[in-house]
Chains A and B, each alone.
Chain A
Amino acid sequence: MRLTKRRQATSTVIGIGLLAVMLFPVYWMVNTSLQSGNVGASSTLVPLHPTLAAYRLALSQQGGDIVTSLTISCGTVLLSLAIAAPAAYVLAKSRIRGRSVILLALVITQMVPGIVIANSLYPAFDQLGLLNSRLGLVLADTSTALPFAILIMRAFMVSLPGEIIEAARVDGAGLVRTFVSIVLPVSRNAVITAGLFAFLFSWSDFLFALTLTTGTNLTPVTLGIYSYLGGEIQSWGPVMATGVLSALPAIVLLAFAQRFIAVGQLNGAVK
Chain B
Amino acid sequence: MKTRDRPSTLTGGQATASGTPRRTRGRRLRQDRAVTWLFLLPALIYIALFFGYPIVKNVMMGSENYTTATFYTGSAPWVGWANYSSFLSSSLAGTTFLNTAVFTVGSIAGQFTIGLAIALFFRRRFPLSGLLRSLLLLPWLLPLIAGAAVWRWILDQDSGVLNSTLLHLHLVHTSVPWLSSPGMALYSVIIVNVWIGIPFNVTLLYSGMQGIPEEHYEAAAIDGAAGWKAFRYITWPALRPVVTVVLVLGVIYTLKVVDIILGLTGGGPANATQTLATTAYQDSFVQFAFGQGAAVNNILLVVSLLFAGLYLRVNRRASDE
Query: Which of B82-90, B91-99, B104-112, B250-258 binds A?
Result: B250-258
Interface size class of B (residues with CB under 8 A): 35 or more
Q: Does A148 contact B (CB under 8 A)?
A: no
Q: Does B187 contact A (CB under 8 A)?
A: no
What sequence of 0s and 1s flags, for each residue 241-261 of chain B, a beta carbon within 8 Å of any chain A beta carbon?
000010001001001101100
What sequence of 0s and 1s flags, for each residue 72-113 of chain A, a beta carbon within 8 Å of any chain B beta carbon?
000000000011101101110111110000101111110111
For A242, list chain B residues within 8 Å (CB).
146
For A95, list chain B residues within 8 Å (CB).
2-4
For A105, list chain B residues within 8 Å (CB).
47, 51
Q: Is the CB of A222 within 8 A of B143?
A: yes
For B35, list chain A residues within 8 Å (CB).
174-176
Given A112-B301, A115-B281 in contact, is the A90-B308 Cβ separation under 8 Å? no
Q: Which of B1, B14, B204 contacts A270 (CB 8 A)?
A: B204
Q: Does B270 contact A (CB under 8 A)?
A: no
Q: Is the CB of B294 within 8 A of A119?
A: yes
A201 to B217, CA, bound (A): 39
Q: Which of A84, A102, A146, A229 contacts B148 (CB 8 A)?
A: A229
A26 to B282, CA, bound (A): 30
Quick one: which of A19, A22, A233 has the most chain B CB within 10 A? A22
Given A11-B126, A108-B308 in contact, is the A25-B151 Cβ separation under 8 Å? yes
Given A22-B198, A107-B312, A270-B204 in contact, is the A113-B43 Cβ separation under 8 Å? no
What sequence of 0s and 1s flags, for each residue 148-188 of chain B, a beta carbon within 8 Å of any chain A beta carbon?
11111110000111001000000000000000000000000
For A113, list chain B residues within 8 Å (CB).
255-256, 277, 297, 300-301, 304
Q: Is the CB of B39 within 8 A of A179?
A: yes
For A250, list chain B residues within 8 Å (CB).
141-142
Quick one: which of B40, B136, B308 has the most chain A CB within 10 A? B40
| Chain B interface, >50% SS class | helix
Q: Is the CB of B285 within 8 A of A28?
A: no
What sequence of 0s and 1s flags, for each residue 101-133 of chain B, a beta carbon within 8 Å of any chain A beta carbon?
000000000000000001001111111110010
A114 to B257, CA, bound (A): 9
Q: How far is the CB of A44 from chain B (nearest CB, A)?
A: 10
Given A18-B118, A111-B311 in contact, is the A23-B149 Cβ separation under 8 Å? no
Quick one: which of B66, B142, B304 has the most chain A CB within 10 A? B142
Q: Does B267 contact A (CB under 8 A)?
A: no
Q: Is the CB of A116 within 8 A of B301?
A: yes
Given A18-B118, A22-B136, A122-B284 in contact, is the A150-B143 Cβ separation under 8 Å? no
Q: Is the CB of A94 within 8 A of B3?
A: yes
Q: Which of A3, A108, A142, A271 contacts B319 (CB 8 A)?
A: A271
Q: Is the CB of B39 within 8 A of A90?
A: yes
Please report the total number of A residues contacting B with Cβ < 8 Å.
102
Q: How far is the CB of B214 from chain A (nearest CB, A)?
A: 9
Q: How far is the CB of A115 from chain B (nearest CB, A)?
A: 5
Q: Is the CB of B10 within 8 A of A19?
A: no
Q: Is the CB of B46 within 8 A of A83?
A: yes
Q: Is the CB of B124 within 8 A of A251?
A: no
20 A-B residue pairs with Cβ-Cβ distance under 8 Å, sorted by A, are A3-B126, A15-B129, A18-B132, A25-B150, A26-B142, A95-B4, A108-B308, A108-B312, A111-B311, A115-B300, A119-B290, A123-B57, A169-B5, A175-B32, A206-B143, A207-B259, A226-B145, A242-B146, A251-B141, A271-B315
Of all A-B residue pairs in the complex, the 8 with the closest CB atoms, nearest first, are A204-B143, A87-B43, A94-B4, A120-B54, A86-B39, A113-B256, A143-B50, A11-B126
Taking A175-B39, A221-B143 as known contacts, 18 extra A-B pairs with beta carbons closer than 8 A to each other, sorted by chain A number, are: A8-B126, A8-B127, A9-B126, A16-B132, A19-B135, A25-B147, A25-B195, A29-B146, A29-B149, A86-B43, A87-B39, A113-B301, A116-B300, A119-B294, A165-B5, A225-B145, A236-B153, A250-B142
Q: CB within 8 Å of A: which residues of B?
A: 1-5, 9-10, 13-14, 17, 28, 31-32, 35-40, 42-44, 46-47, 50-51, 53-55, 57-58, 61, 66, 70-71, 118, 121-129, 132, 135-136, 138-139, 141-154, 159-161, 164, 195, 198, 204, 207, 217, 245, 249, 252, 255-256, 258-259, 262-263, 277, 280-281, 284-285, 290, 293-294, 297-298, 300-301, 304-305, 307-308, 311-312, 315, 319
